[in-house]
Amino acid sequence: MKLFEDLMDASAKLADKAAKVASEAFEQTKVVAEEAMDKGKKKVNELELKNDLSKAQKQLGELYYVLRKTGESNDELLTQYFNAVAEIEAKLEALKVEEVNEDSDYAVVDATEEPAQESAVEELKEEVTEIVADVKEDITEAIEEIKDIFDGEDAAPAEKAEEVIELSVKVCPSCGAAADETDTFCRECGKKIEP
């Protein structure tokens, strides 16, 4: 019965360790996913700003071309377009500074996407919880099977002993290496293995 209790304790510890490992893996995955999402959002924002800059520069160039071609002068309108280009360039520069200095408080993340991120994290958490529950169930079933072997009411003590012997592994008495049931000599050290 002592062997069964030791086995039960070892299985419980294994289940707890599996739960702990799964939890730590989930937390690490969550951190990595959040960092990847933040980088992706920053890259999308950078691309949008570059697109806006290209459009603003094109509009400024077209306005200057039309004014020059017609011989008109509209410094106020040119200044507006120029300021729009400068504002977009300043935002792009701020993004570059943010990449260099991660401690910056400047944020470019769209707050409307946060609930979707939290939903994905919750789904991942549920999946990990289900996996841990399945592992615990499998361990419990294995414990019950082992308990049946050791506590079988229809098996005589000699039969129980034979089952335990069958579960053991043959090892070399000299070096401790695992050996097959039919091995006469150790495959590692070459010494004779007593039956």
Express each pLDDT in 22-44 by its tens digit.
Answer: 888 888 888 888 888 888 888 89
Taking all residues of the chain, what is their mean pLDDT, rounded to a whole number?
Answer: 77
Structural domain that includes position 173: 157-195
pTM tops 0.85, yes or no: no
**Looking at the structure, do residues 58 and 121 belong to the same domain, yes or no?**
yes
Distance of alpha carbon 11 from alpha carbon 17, whole angstroms: 10
**Looking at the structure, do residues 164 and 83 belong to the same domain, yes or no?**
no
φ/ψ of 191, rounded to 5, equals -75, 155
**Looking at the structure, do residues 116 and 102 belong to the same domain, yes or no?**
yes
Quote the number of domains for the chain: 2
Distance of alpha carbon 182 from alpha carbon 195, whole angstroms: 9
Per-residue confidence (pLDDT) for residue 146, from 0 to 100 = 74
Q: Is the pLDDT of residue 106 over 50?
A: no
**Looking at the structure, do residues 139 and 110 belong to the same domain, yes or no?**
yes
Q: Is the pLDDT of residue 143 over 70?
A: yes
**Looking at the structure, do residues 104 and 166 belong to the same domain, yes or no?**
no
**Looking at the structure, do residues 40 and 20 belong to the same domain, yes or no?**
yes
**Looking at the structure, do residues 124 and 168 belong to the same domain, yes or no?**
no
**Looking at the structure, do residues 143 and 189 belong to the same domain, yes or no?**
no
Distance of alpha carbon 100 from alpha carbon 94, whole angstroms: 10
**Looking at the structure, do residues 144 and 173 belong to the same domain, yes or no?**
no
**Looking at the structure, do residues 79 and 38 belong to the same domain, yes or no?**
yes
Confidence of residue 191 (pLDDT cuts 50, 70, 90): confident
Burial class (CB in 10 A: 0-12, 13-18, 19+), 20: exposed
**Looking at the structure, do residues 47 and 89 belong to the same domain, yes or no?**
yes
Contact between residue 30 and residue 124 where contact means Cβ atoms under 8 Å apart: yes
CA 80 to chain CA mean position, Å: 48
